[in-house]
Amino acid sequence: MAKVLIIAEHDGRSLSPATAKTVQGAHGLAADVIDVVVFGDALDAIAQDAAKLAGVTCVRVVEDASLAPALASRLAPEVVALSEGYTHILAPSTTFGRDLLPRVAGLLGCNQVSDVMEVVDARTFKRPIYAGNAIVTVRVPDAISPVLATVRTASFAAAAASGSAKVEAASAQAQDPGHTEYVGAEGSSGEGPDLSSATVVVSGGRAMGSSENFELIGSLAKKLGAAVGASRAAVDAGYVPNELQVGQTGKIIAPDLYIAVGISGAIQHLTGIKDAGTIVAINKDPDAPIFEVADLGLVGDLFQLLPELEDAL
Ligand SMILES: Cc1cc2nc3c(=O)[nH]c(=O)nc-3n(C[C@H](O)[C@H](O)[C@H](O)COP(=O)(O)OP(=O)(O)OC[C@H]3O[C@@H](n4cnc5c(N)ncnc54)[C@H](O)[C@@H]3O)c2cc1C
């Protein structure tokens, strides 16, 4: 009998869509129980949203001032304290889950399966390897319990908001290990949609040449209501901050529409957009590898094409 605990991701105001996708991933486990735990402070609205996710049995709400903002070092022992009786513990394969779950795995002495993209059965999963060039099927040995896994959110749709799970208050039980302190958070300007969950993304590459030129991408994105992304070369060159990087060592995204401008299409970049719907590429080199995966391609100089495209829009 599978009993699943999912660790909810939120920003203190709303539940991250990554949680709904993790719940959808858990449906494949044919579990008898899917509980979601929400850690933080003043969690009413977030807990209510989690309770609406189809298939969720119970939302366990652990409210404590020391749990907000969420630090993996503080949350991990709390997850362990709640883990009794669960056969599976899941978190989204986002920065949040990738930070937290390995700590839980360390404390429980269990190996973790990372980046689950398909559930074969309760102990067997498919996950990408070699920058997404191959898919490996892995099985968690029977001796390991609970099964710990991060779920690749780009591989699952969000669970429908059609449920009505019960909401239960729980108390913080673990001691703060005290070795990590929250100092502050710096993020993007908050303009435009979030890159991880946007339905349209416009990304620029090395060819943009400068941060000033990169504003052409921002301007097109604004017109389309899109999020801005970038290749690693553009990030390394300092045109945009690291949080905009798409790819193997950046964000894995699954927008309905992805527009790659002046990006060659290196495998490490393509890994990040494997699950995108329609891919549009603008590149002056007709042999650029990006055209092998693009649904639509424009061959030409981006500095001419982008203003034309924007005018046309
Ligand atoms: C371990 C590892 C992890 C990595 N992780 C990532 C990752 O997460 N994300 C990522 O993106 N990369 C990653 N990389 C780097 C990756 O291999 C490539 O180097 C990078 O993606 C190249 O970025 P680019 O396409 O912007 O630049 P380039 O490969 O230099 O391509 C620039 C493109 O712009 C075109 N171009 C030039 N001028 C114009 C113009 N005026 N108009 C139109 N087109 C023009 C060129 O024809 C070319 O195709 C990783 C590499 C390694 C080794």
With respect to residue 27, please indicate whether it lies within any of the assigned structural domains.
yes
- pLDDT at residue 138 in the model: 98
CATH number at residue 248: 3.40.50.1220
Contact between residue 31 and residue 7 where contact means Cβ atoms under 8 Å apart: no
With respect to residue 187, please indicate whether it lies within any of the assigned structural domains.
no
Does 133 lie in the same domain as 9? yes
| Ligand 1 in reach of 289 Cβ (< 6 A) | no
Does 110 lie in the same domain as 26? yes
Does 58 lie in the same domain as 115? yes
Does 253 lie in the same domain as 157? no
- Number of domains composing the chain: 2
Comparing C-alpha atoms, which of 99, 78, 90 is closest to residue 146?
90
Does 104 lie in the same domain as 27? yes
- C-alpha 91: how far from chain center: 10
- pLDDT at residue 64 in the model: 94
Question: Which residues in the chain land under pLDDT 70?
Answer: 187-190
- pLDDT at residue 188 in the model: 63
Residue with CA at minimum distance from ligand 1 atom 51: 268
- pLDDT at residue 197 in the model: 85
**Mind listing the pLDDT tens digit for each residue in 73-125?**
999 999 999 999 999 999 999 989 999 999 999 999 999 999 999 999 999 99
Model's pTM, two decimal places?
A: 0.83
Does 212 lie in the same domain as 92? no
Does 230 lie in the same domain as 143? no
Comparing C-alpha atoms, which of 78, 106, 102, 71 is closest to residue 180?
71
Instruction: Give the number of the atom of ligand 1 that is nearest the alpha carbon of residue 247.
Output: 8
Does 152 lie in the same domain as 29? yes
With the most atoms of ligand 1 within 8 angstroms of its CB, the residue from 264, 291, 299, 309 to mutate is 264
Residue with CA at minimum distance from ligand 1 atom 40: 301
Contact between residue 61 and residue 38 where contact means Cβ atoms under 8 Å apart: yes
| Residue in the structure block whose two tokens are 């389309």 | 224
Instruction: Give the number of the atom of ligand 1 that is nearest the alpha carbon of residue 231.
Output: 11
What is the domain range of residue 120? 3-170
- pLDDT at residue 308 in the model: 96
With respect to residue 177, please indicate whether it lies within any of the assigned structural domains.
no
CATH number at residue 155: 3.40.50.620
With respect to residue 179, please indicate whether it lies within any of the assigned structural domains.
no
- Write the CA distances from 16 to 10, 96, 294, integer angstroms: 5, 11, 29
- pLDDT at residue 189 in the model: 61
